Amino acid sequence: MSQMPSSPTKLAAGCVVYRHDSTGAPLLLLIHDKYGRWTLPKGHLEVGESDQEAALREVHEETGVVGELGALVARIVYTVRSKRGLERTKQVTFFLLHADSFDTHPQGEEGISAAEWFTPEAALARIGYPQVRDVLAQALTMLS
């Protein structure tokens, strides 16, 4: 039996970006992606880049936000399909990131139509991907 050669796993990294409001309650940054869903900022690793470097770069590129990178939250793995119908595995590593400010600058050219701060309950309700919702829920246990 011959098997189709499998494509290498696509690697990406992102962050659960948070700040605290004036009462000390956490607020979380979500982006509205090119597929019309709310999610966490993330993107592909460039050659020679670590997960941490890619996570910081992607958050800054997609939202304009910089901050202090924190602990690893989770790694998720799922299958993506290319325009030609080829399937490959994608692994995304998420870290905590404490944002330096509430200022955001969503990157329209990347299909990011919004970058907004939400309470934990609102963020969990808005996320359009179940695995990403699980990452956010895990991050909230780390923040409390």
Exposed, middle or buried, 106 (CB in 10 Å: 0-12/13-18/19+)?
A: middle
Q: In degrees, to the nearest 5, what angle opens at C-alpha 138 toward C-alphas 100 and 75?
A: 90
CB 40 within 8 A of CB 136: yes
CB 131 within 8 A of CB 42: no
Q: When comparing pLDDT for 1 and 58, which is higher?
A: 58
So what's the pLDDT on residue 2? 47
- At residue 4, does pLDDT exceed 60? no
Write the pLDDT tens digit of every residue in 108-118.
988 999 999 99
Exposed, middle or buried, 30 (CB in 10 Å: 0-12/13-18/19+)?
A: buried
The domain made up of 10-143 has a fold known as Nucleoside Triphosphate Pyrophosphohydrolase (3.90.79)
- 143 Cβ neighbours under 8 A, 6+ residues apart: 18, 26, 96
Mean pLDDT, the chain, rounded, equals 94
Q: Strand 67-81 to strand 42-44: parallel, antiparallel, or no bridges (unpaired)?
A: unpaired
3-state secondary structure at position 105: coil
Task: Give the span between the Cα atoms of 86 and 71, in whole angstroms.
Answer: 33
So what's the pLDDT on residue 8? 81
What's the whole-model pTM score? 0.92
DSSP annotation of 16 reads E
- At residue 137, does pLDDT exceed 80? yes
Write the pLDDT tens digit of every residue in 47-78.
999 999 999 999 999 999 999 999 999 999 99
The residues spanned by each domain of the chain are 10-143
Q: Among 30-34, 107-111, 125-129, whose mean pLDDT is lowest?
A: 107-111
